Chain A
Amino acid sequence: MMKIDFSGLDASVPLCGNTDELCNEISTEQKFELPTAADFDGFQREAVQMVKPAKGTTTLAFIFKEGVMVAADSRASMGGYISSQTVKKIIEINPYMLGTMAGGAADCQFWHRNLGVKCRLHELANKRRISVTGASKLLANILYSYRGMGLSVGTMIAGWDETGPGLYYVDSEGGRLKGTRFSVGSGSPYAYGVLDSGYRFDMSVEEGAELARRAIYHATFRDGASGGVASVYHVGPNGWKKLSGDDVGELHYLYYPVEPASVEQEMTEVSGS
Chain B
Amino acid sequence: MARYDRAITVFSPDGHLFQVEYALEAVRKGNAAVGVRGTDTIVLAVEKKSTPKLQDSRSVRKIVNLDNHIALACAGLKADARVLINRARIECQSHKLTVEDPVTVEYITRYIAGLQQKYTQSGGVRPFGLSTLIIGFDPHTAVPSLYQTDPSGTFSAWKANATGRNSNSIREFLEKNYKETSGQETVKLAMRALLEVVESGGKNLEVAVMTKDQGLRQLEEAEIDAIVAEIEAEKAAAEAAKKGPPKET
Contact = CB atoms under 8 A, between A and B. Distances in A.
B98 A137 contact: yes
Contacts of A163: 140
B104 A134 contact: no
Contacts of A133: 99-101
Nearest to A126: B107
Contacts of A122: 99
A134 B98 contact: yes
A158 to B, nearest CB: 17
Nearest to B110: A125
A126 B101 CA distance: 13
A141 interface: yes
B93 to A, nearest CB: 14
A243 interface: no
A138 interface: yes
A94 interface: no
Contacts of A131: 99-101
A133 B97 CA distance: 11
Interface string A128-152: 0011011001100100000000000
Among B98, B101, B104, chain A packs the most CB atoms within 10 A around the CB of B101
Nearest to B138: A128
B100 A134 contact: yes
A162 interface: yes
A141 B101 contact: no
Nearest to B140: A162
A102 B99 CA distance: 24
Contacts of B99: 122, 130-131, 133-134, 137-138
Contact of B100 (A127, A137, A162): A137
Interface residues of B, number: 8
Chief secondary structure at chain A's binding surface: helix
Contacts of B101: 131, 133-134
Contacts of A138: 98-99
B104 A126 contact: yes
Interface in B96-133: 98-101, 104, 106-107
A126 B106 CA distance: 8
Nearest to A162: B140
Interface in A86-141: 122, 126-127, 130-131, 133-134, 137-138, 141
A127 B141 CA distance: 13
A141 B98 contact: yes
B156 to A, nearest CB: 15
Interface in B16-51: none
Contacts of A127: 106
Contacts of A130: 99
Contacts of A162: 140
A170 B107 CA distance: 27
Nearest to A135: B99
B191 to A, nearest CB: 33
Interface string B59-89: 0000000000000000000000000000000
Contacts of B98: 134, 137-138, 141
Given A131-B101, A137-B98, A163-B140, 5 more contacts: A122-B99, A126-B104, A131-B100, A133-B100, A137-B100
23 contacts: A122-B99, A126-B104, A126-B106, A126-B107, A127-B106, A130-B99, A131-B99, A131-B100, A131-B101, A133-B99, A133-B100, A133-B101, A134-B98, A134-B99, A134-B100, A134-B101, A137-B98, A137-B99, A138-B98, A138-B99, A141-B98, A162-B140, A163-B140
Interface of A: 122, 126-127, 130-131, 133-134, 137-138, 141, 162-163
